[in-house]
Structure 1
Amino acid sequence: MRATEHWPVVVIGGGQAGLAMSHELKERAVSHVIFEKNRIAHSWRTQRWDAFCLVTPNWQCRLPGHHYPGKEPHGFMPKDEIVSYIEDYAKKIDAPVREGVAVKKLSRNGSGYRVETQEGTVTADQVVLAVSAYHKPKIPALANDLSASIKQIHSSEYRNPGQLPEGAVMVVGSGQSGCQIAEDLHLAGRKVHLVVGSAPRCPRVYRGRDAVDWLDDLGQYDLPVDKHPLKDGVRGKANHYLTGRDGGRDIDLRRFALEGMILHGRLLGLEDGRLVFGDDLTKNLDAADAVYNGICTMIDKHIESQGIEAPGQAHYRPVWQPEIGAESFDSVQAGITSIVWATGFTSDWSWVDLPVFENNYPKHERGITPEPGLYVVGLPWLYTWGSGRFVGVGRDAAYIADHVADVSREKTAVPVASRKETRPWHGLDGYNLASAVA
């Protein structure tokens, strides 16, 4: 690229958020370029295990102008199909993506921006950050003090049971990735220790339909963050665990325990070479089940209030109870030969030299930051629960693109309150996921 290259808009990130943004900018005839430091669909391609599949039904794949095209709307695409879905989208919209071009620094350049890449520097009137919030694997410091004989990997590096040495495996973290990886190992006949945290769980199918279908009817994926009881606090909450594997099913950690998986409370640290666990296993399992049954109750109320014919179904009852409280043990003596750290990611915005961050999170209102001409898209709960998903990122992109187009055409921006929703939240009184599980 030429050192003096200039673009009206630069989009940083070529994942589903960046591509959705490109579609909406094209619809508004706004010239732009996308810089993607890896390949399109990089994280789906390289940071998922072999048996990975979506946990939400295929019909929720609603990228703007490219809804799920297959024959199984209520199925769950495996990893390779997800990659193809995104790649096909990029081709369909003829996205101006420059793959393999990393942005090293973003800073102000007069009234616009200076974008320094590994191939040179460009300037832009406006910039959209479409790089998610999951940048660096998060692994606790105690990992450095464990025996060198134990193989340690982050969940983003896990592919299949065969990559781990023979012996027991400890999975630390019971969010979506941790529970599904533990299940993958368990189904392969491995001895699994699972460290259980506070992540909630959700039914797969309840009263004849996938719970996601019911939640969509209830407007949960359209609930704005400012109307959620937790407000901005919901952005730090873990997603519910369940799976789309083998056609979709619940993940019941208690049933895994009956089948031989060993469950532990939260990992607290390492003392005298022994792993120390909290006494919160029962509390965490009970809390996850309370969320599960809270969702069932919410669906029950909706069915009753709308007069919907649906088969009856009992709420969940625990099939197993822990017998231990706090505990500790030597991992090597316990036969643990590998650990999978399903402990999430941290954000790295160090390359953005702009005063728009608070507690390592970009300040914004529906993706519009305090810095004129700077936007973010694709973050979890950017505006709704669907914002970080295929189902909701298009709406966010459309909203931001309206603002970008207004600025680029030197028109007065439309006030936030007067902007139309592409799919408004219908605010069913008394029905929201937070109230169902409180």
Structure 2
Amino acid sequence: MLSLFFVLPLAAASIVNSQLSLLPHHPHPPEDIPPLSHWEDLAASQNRTLCHILPGQDGDDDDAKTIASALNHDCRTNALVVLPGAQYTMASNITTTSMDNVHIELYGRLLWTTDIDYWLSVSMPVGFQNQSTVWYFGGRHVRLDGHGTGELNGNGQVWYDWAKGRGNLPHRPMMINWRHLHASVITNLRFVQAQMWTMATTWSHDLLFDTIYVNNTSNSSHSTLNTDGIDTIYSDNITLRRWDVTCGDDNVALKGNSSNVFLYDSVFHGGQVIAIGSLGQYNDAWEYVHTFHARNVTMRDTRYAVYLKTWAGHQNGYPPNGGGGGRGHGQDIVLEDVVLHGARTAPFWIWQCENYEGDMGKDCDSSEFSFSDLRFSNVSGTTADGVTLAASLRCAAGGGGCTNIIVEDFSVVTANTKKPLTEWYCANVHNPSGFECEPFPEDKGDDE
């Protein structure tokens, strides 16, 4: 059902932070969704075209095609798009990258089908490693509001069982790629059981993701490896506010050419937590990560608080599982007001010898990627018992090492014994402040 009103354009919407709390883990679609007449009146008052989309009546219908048609044609510009149904079937890949001044109201679930062979045949390249997706979503001045119940559900369990713990499998898609999306807001939305990465921003800027719930968990023996919460690539001015993320890999990851990424008021469960990288995977390519600030973040049973990782300076194999030889710089990386609950290893980790083709942990001094101006302030809480390291900072001499690392108000202890973390292992760290470096013991050198 499409209700159409052809209208004059509106001025671009400004980005406004929501005041809602974190979303519930098990929501129910509201019973008081406004009727069609409400949306007709609202669209008319805002001079917008209206597309009011109901799910197909047949369970075999492909609602993805209907949604794509609305966002590409009838309601591509100056529009209000409403999806009030309980569940929509996503049975085809879609590209909706030309929206302009569109508001999307999603109340129910977008559920992807489980035909793995089909999705492997139609997934679309993201432009990094062998990553792919089933939805290119882009445009300008777009607002996507899930109202606390709207959900993208990738039916990920079939993918976890199919992958059997194998990483970086070709054509295994992420749920959505925010691609050339600018000056836009994604809010009050749930992302559940992603097929691989949940989402990534590419070639995008000026985005606010506010009040976002991500949960990728397995109910079988197979892991949720590669189910990152969000990755940023070639993106600038990205704000993540009030995120609740459970996943089996990086909760948040900044890949190459990410700048001005801000993370506030969030909670992470499991996973690796915040990753800067990996970087330097492409031979002779220059990459950067400039300005990442995280504040007021709670981390439960995560591996680290933050880890920075690059590939070695000599290429060994090819992406996605091999590579190296890239160059670049990471600068102005700040974490403050962080609480750990049972971190599984050292809270702070720098590692410049990444490789999954047999050379992991080797050639750690050759990377020509450097880091500077890192500050970790007011980090408290607990690690698992047996953890003694506060930091493992293995910086590479090839890039000049790491400069100006500052630690302030660090008070992390082991969970049961309450022993403070006292060991700060360093290599090629210059001008440390707030801690004393000691060399890596030879018997622990490159085994992580």
Q: TM-score, normalised by structure 1?
A: 0.26
Higher relative contact order (CA 8 A, sep 6+): 1
Name the one with the larger strand percent.
2
Name the one with the larger helix percent.
1
Q: TM-score, normalised by structure 2?
A: 0.26
